[in-house]
Structure 1
Amino acid sequence: MNTFVADVLVLSRRTEIMASQSTHIPNDKRFLIFFDFDETIVDETSDDVVVQAAPGQHLPGWLKDTYQPGRYNEYMQRVLAFLAEQGVTESDIRGVMEKIPATPGMLTLFQYLRNRPQDFEVVLVSDANTFFIESWLRRAGARPLFHRIFTNPATFNKDGRLVMRPFHSHDCPRCPDNMCKQVVVRDYVARRTQERGRAYQRVFYVGDGANDFCPALILGPRDVAFSRRDFPMHRLILETHEAMPGEFKAVTVPWVSAEEVVQRLRRLVQE
């Protein structure tokens, strides 16, 4: 049994009791923490991994040539249609998703958050899709940890094809047409603050990509952007600090292992 599978089984057993809990979100959480999925929770990009289910584990050149910048969601819809035409099944896709390794330290971070349900409200914001994410989280035993998941809807139709739809439309020039994470984060924080009758003590964002930089821009000086070191989100934050000092307000904590995130959260919780 490899290390990832062993860790997954431990986390799964520990979180099993949470699976039957209500989806109601309590109002007593002190902190709100957002996670990206691809290359943040998992150590690969799920859209790339799904290609492993294709015959020969690659896509034809004509299909790859249909990609247009800013329209990746539409491209992935064509990829999923191609996979269905090649006889790739729901079980095949789930199987390759379940095998994606977690990023270093991520299961430790999940366990830390699971042990402090009174402190953290945990939300996932991803430009992947519901089927990819749910498949991985359920295999890892981590689904009950997340109060909400915001991502592109994806369901199998009667022909066995995984059909993905855009999450929403928006006017942000920085983000792909189908999702602006800043809109998602801003609206969720505003709604939950109104429902709770008070603000969170701090908001945390754990991510890696350029589309994770956009929501991190609205974090305040008490909030923390946990950017995966040397990935696009981290580089954009550094560039912004240099070009426009004061524009990026959140504390930045780069990480290589998510255990570094745990260490910082432990200190903040004790303040």
Structure 2
Amino acid sequence: MAASNGAGVVVVFDFDKTIIDCDSDNWVVDALGATQRFDELLLHLPWNSAIDAMMGELHSQGKSTEEIAGSMRTAPLSPHVVAAIETAHALGCELRILSDANAFFIDAVLAHHGLAGYFTEVSTNPAHVDAAGRLRISPYHDFHHGSSHGCTLATCPPNMCKGKVMEEILQELSKEAGKTRRRVVYLGDGRGDYCPTLKLVERDYMMPRKGYPVWDLIVADRHAVRADVRGWADAEDLETVLLDIIHECAAASKMEEDGGHQVVVPAECRSLPLASAPELAMPVLPKAIQAPN
């Protein structure tokens, strides 16, 4: 298909357990032998604060930021996810990341796999290396000084409401010149991915990872989600489902351009099952260990 066929689509990826097949915080902590200490910190600190404190302790033990970045470079990233990113970009889609991980971990992975240039924006918890060489991780929404993001949804952690960020993305897209707003496809797995899911409308798509927390939340109240829901189980599934959606969006855009007249739907779209309540009521797979990302 021509490169312009995905020009009407913005694909927004979660990072942990979506682009990489693990939780980045846990991956680094486990790789550097600090699992038990991190678990202790989580007993009395919010997740985002605990990972910042953990980085401070690793620094005091002589662990360098290069060692931390090196551990992230070994995080599992499937060739199918790489292919999905490259193909979606080649088809003309705009790609973004919306993640409760942090900029340092995400940058390390994207740079290592040559993917940084594919994404126009990465919305995540800020990170920087201070003068002493210690990695600092900050909250996306500052909650340390009595303020908060204001979201009352229990699934949003105090440091980041992805729903607020999604609202900003949708407002930005609605201001673009053109008859209709570009379609958004959102991929995620965790509890924090539920709030942005609720911001999407009928012309958008949600791709929840089957058997993970956001899937369970969508199944529990299917009518709360207005977007077209298309589940995926693994990286190969992610690639197939995402590219099917992009081709489907291209066909829908062509129909809009033609004034709503029927157009020939590409063969790869005809056999696509519509996401429906029965599909989402399928037996839920065993849950993975839950992390807020």
TM-score greater than 0.5 by the shorter chain: yes
Q: Does 1:236 align with 2:217?
A: yes
Residue matched to 2:34: 58
Residue matched to 2:12: 34
Which of 130, 137, 154 is 2:127 aligned to?
A: 154
CA distance in 2, matches of 1:121, 1:248: 23
After TM superposition, give the deviation of residue 67 of structure 1 in Å. Answer: 1.5
Contact kept in structure 2, 1:108 and 1:258, CA below 8 Å: no
After TM superposition, give the deviation of residue 158 of structure 1 in Å. Answer: 1.5
Residue matched to 1:8: none
Which of 189, 192, 200 is 2:173 aligned to?
A: 192
After TM superposition, give the deviation of residue 142 of structure 1 in Å. Answer: 0.8
Q: Which runs of 5+ in 2 are unaligned?
A: 1-5, 142-147, 253-293
Cα 1:191–1:216, aligned 2, differ >3 Å: closer, same or farther?
A: same
Q: Does 1:224 align with 2:202?
A: no
After TM superposition, give the deviation of residue 264 of structure 1 in Å. Answer: 2.9
CA distance in 2, matches of 1:64, 1:156: 24
Number of corresponding residues: 235
RMSD (Å), alpha carbons: 2.0
Matches for 1:50-89 after TM superposition, within 5 Å? 50-54=28-32, 57-61=33-37, 63-68=38-43, 71-89=46-64
**Which of these two proteins has the greater Rg computed from alpha carbons?**
2
Residue matched to 2:228: 251
The alignment partner of 1:125 has SS state of: strand
TM-score normalised over the length of structure 2: 0.75
Residue matched to 2:25: 47
After TM superposition, give the deviation of residue 195 of structure 1 in Å. Answer: 4.3
Contact kept in structure 1, 2:7 and 2:91, CA below 8 Å: no
Percent of matched pairs sharing the same residue: 31
Q: Deviations over 1:204-251 (max 9, x none)?
A: 10111111111011111121101111111111100012xxxx321111
CA distance in 2, matches of 1:35, 1:69: 30
Which of 88, 91, 95 is 1:122 aligned to?
A: 95
The alignment partner of 2:231 has SS state of: coil
Residue matched to 1:7: none
CA distance in 2, matches of 1:216, 1:199: 20
The alignment partner of 2:27 has SS state of: helix
Residue matched to 1:107: 82
TM-score normalised over the length of structure 1: 0.81
The alignment partner of 1:39 has SS state of: coil
Q: Which runs of 5+ in 1 are unaligned?
A: 1-27
